Amino acid sequence: MSTHVDSWYASSTAAVPPRPTLEGDLDADVCVVGGGIAGCSTALHLAERGYRVVLLESELIGWGASGRSGAQAITGVACGQSKLESLVGAGDARRIWDMTVEALRLQRELIDRHRIDCDYVAGQMHVALKPRQERELREEVEVAHARYAHDSLRMVERDELQSLVASERYIAGTYDSSCGHLHPLKYTLGVAAAAERAGAKIFERSRALDYRRITSSNSALLVRTAHGAVRCRSIALCGNAWLGPFAPTLARKIIGVGTYIVATEPLGAERAAALITNNAAVTDINWVIDYFRRSSDHRLLFGGRVSYSGIDPLGTRRATRARMLKVFPQLADTRIDFAWGGLVDITLNRAPHFGRLEPDVYFVQGFSGHGIALTGIAGKLLAETISGTHDRFDVFARIKHRDFPGGPALRRPALVLAMLWYRLRDLL
Q: Indicate whether 246 belongs to any domain.
A: yes
Q: Among residues 127, 85, 101, 104, which one has the least CA distance to residue 349?
A: 85
Task: Establish how many alpha carbons lie within 13 A of residue 161's alpha carbon, considering only the half-sphere containing its beta carbon.
Answer: 24
Cα 76 from chain centroid (whole Å): 12
- State how far the Cα of 180 lies from the Cα of 373, in Å rounded to an integer: 10
Q: Indicate whether 93 belongs to any domain.
A: yes
The torsion defined by the Cα of 36, 39, 45 and 49, in degrees rounded to 10, comes to -150
Q: Indicate whether 427 belongs to any domain.
A: no
pTM of the model: 0.93
Given pLDDT bands bounded at 50, 70 and 90, which one contains residue 75?
Answer: very high
Query: 283 forms bridges with which residues in the sheet?
Result: 126, 291
- Note the pLDDT tens digit of each residue in 128-184: 999 999 999 999 999 999 999 999 999 999 999 999 999 999 999 999 999 999 999
Range of the domain at 30: 1-5+21-120+182-253+349-397
Given pLDDT bands bounded at 50, 70 and 90, which one contains residue 331?
Answer: very high
- Note the pLDDT tens digit of each residue in 233-266: 999 999 987 787 888 888 888 887 778 999 999 9
What are the angstrom distances between the C-alpha of 270 and each of 209, 267, 296? 50, 8, 13
Q: What is the pLDDT of residue 317?
A: 85
Low-confidence winner among 45-49, 176-180, 306-310, 392-396 (lowest mean pLDDT): 306-310
Q: Provide the 3-class DSSP secondary structure of residue 25.
A: strand
Residue 417's contacts (CB-CB under 8 Å, 6 or more residues apart) are none
Q: Indicate whether 199 belongs to any domain.
A: yes
Q: What is the mean pLDDT of residues 350-369?
A: 94
Q: How many domains does the chain have?
A: 1
Q: Among residues 235, 173, 183, 179, which one has the least CA distance to residue 209?
A: 235
Q: Indicate whether 78 belongs to any domain.
A: yes
* CATH code of 388's domain: 3.50.50.60
Amino acid at 137: L
Q: Indicate whether 330 belongs to any domain.
A: no
Q: Indicate whether 316 belongs to any domain.
A: no
Q: Indicate whether 238 belongs to any domain.
A: yes
